[in-house]
Structure 1
Amino acid sequence: MQAALCVLWMALCACGVSSSPLRSVQAGENVNMASADDVNILMYGVLQFTESLHHMYQSTEARLARLMKAVSRTESEVKRLGHDTEEAAQNERQIKEKLQLLQAQMKALEIQVHENRDTVTRVELEEAQLKKKLSSLEENLNSSVPDKIKGAPLKNNSNLKDLMKWTQEQKLKLENQNRQLADLQKRNMV
C-alpha cells in the first residue's frame, strides 16, 4: 500500500504537477499540461491502487469473519468442557457418597454377622448340653419310671426336634448373611 502511494507521488512529481494548480494558472505562468497518456497512466495506477485496497479490505473482512467464527467455536467448546467438568465432579461426589454408604452398610452387616455367629454358637452349645441332659434323663427315666410315665420322653424328643429345627434355621440365616457380606465386599473391591 505504501509502495503504491510512493509510485503515485513520484509520478505526480515527474509530471511537474504543482501543489496548487490554481495559483500557477492565475499568475499567468507557463503551465505544462500533462498529456492524455500521462493522465491515463496515472488514472490506471489510481484504479489499480483502489482495486488492491478494495481486495485487501474484502480479504481482511473474510479473515476477520473466519477468526470470529473460530473464536465463537472455541468459546462454545470451552463452555461445553466447563459443563462436562462440573458434571464429572458431581458424578464423582455422588460415587463417593454411595461408596461411603456401602461401606457403612458393610460394617453394619459385619457386626450383625458376628452377633449372629455368637448366637448360633451359644445355641449349638445349649443344644449339645440339652441333648446330654435329655439322654441322661431318658436313661434315668427308663430305669426308674414305670411304663405309664415313659411317654414323657417322647414329648421331650418333640421339643428337642423343634429346637434343632430352629437352630438349623438360624444357621441358614447366618449363611445367607455371610453370602451377602461376601457380595458387598466384592462390590466394594471393584
Structure 2
Amino acid sequence: MQAALCMLFATLCVNGVSTSPLKSFQAGGNLASPDDVNILMYGVVQFSESLHHIYQSTEAKLARVMKAISRTESEVKRLGHDTEEAAQTERQIKEKLQLIQAQMKALKNQVQENRGTVTKVELEEAELKKKLTSLEENLNNSIPDMIKGPALKNISILKDLMKWTQEQKLKLENQNQQLADLQKQNMV
C-alpha cells in the first residue's frame, strides 16, 4: 500500500501538481491526463492483487506452520507419556530386583546354616562311630559274657542312634539340594 502511495505521489510530482488544488487550477496548470490516471489505477489494482496474493500465501503458510506445531506438541506429549511409563517400569524392575536379591541373600544364609549343621552332624557321627568302635573293642576284650548282654543292648541303641543321625543327614542334604534349585530358579 505504501508503494502505491509513493507511486501516486511520484506521478503527481512529475505532472507538476502543486500543493493546493485551487492554486493549480487558478494558475492554469496541467492536470494529469486520463492515460496517466489509467496507468496509475492499473498499478494500484496490480499492487492490491499482489498484496491479496501475498496475504493468501502467508495465511496458507501460517496454517501449515500451526499444523506442524500441533503435530510437534502432540509428539512431545506422547514422548513425555512414554518417558513416564519407562520410568515407572524401571522403578518396578528395581523393586523386584531388590526383592530377588533379598531372597537370594536369605537363601544363601539358610544354605550356610544348613551346611554348618551338616558338618556338625557329620563330625558327631564320626565321633560316635569312633566311640562305638572303641566301646565294642573294650567290651569284647574286658567284660565277661554275663555283662555283655546289657552292653550289647546299649551298642544296639547307639547303632540305632547312628542310623537316625544318618537319616537326618540325608534330610539336610535334600533340603540343601532344594535350596540350591531355588537359587538357580531365582537367578534365571
TM (normalized to structure 2)?
A: 0.73
1:106-185 to structure 2, matched below 5 A, reads: 106-137=104-135, 140=139, 157=159, 160-181=162-183, 184=186
Match of 2:33 among 20, 32, 35: 35
Find the counterpart in structure 1 of residue 6 from structure 2. 6
Note closer, same or farther for the CA distance 1:10–1:59 as it changes in structure 2 (3 Å cut): same
- The alpha-carbon deviation at position 19 of structure 1 amounts to 6.5
Secondary structure in structure 2 of the residue aligned to 1:101: helix
Farther-moved stretch of structure 1 (90-99 vs 120-129): 90-99
- The alpha-carbon deviation at position 52 of structure 1 amounts to 0.4
Question: How many residues are treated as equivalent by the alignment?
Answer: 184
Q: Deviations over 1:40-61 (max 9, x none)?
A: 2122111101100101111111
- Contact 1:109/1:177 (8 A) holds in 2: yes
- For the pair 1:66 / 2:64, whether they are aligned, the reply is yes
- Contact 1:8/1:45 (8 A) holds in 2: no
Amino acid at match of 1:14: V
CA RMSD of aligned residues (A): 3.5
Amino acid at match of 1:164: Q
Q: Deviations over 1:74-114 (max 9, x none)?
A: 22222222222222222222222222222222221121111
- The alpha-carbon deviation at position 121 of structure 1 amounts to 0.9
Find the counterpart in structure 2 of residue 47 from structure 1. 45
Measure, in 2, the Cα distance between the counterparts of 1:104 and 1:177.
15
Note closer, same or farther for the CA distance 1:77–1:144 as it changes in structure 2 (3 Å cut): farther
Task: Select the structure with the greater relative contact order (CA < 8 A; seq sep ≥ 6).
Answer: 1
Note closer, same or farther for the CA distance 1:11–1:28 as it changes in structure 2 (3 Å cut): closer
- The alpha-carbon deviation at position 179 of structure 1 amounts to 4.3
Unaligned runs of 5+ in 1: none
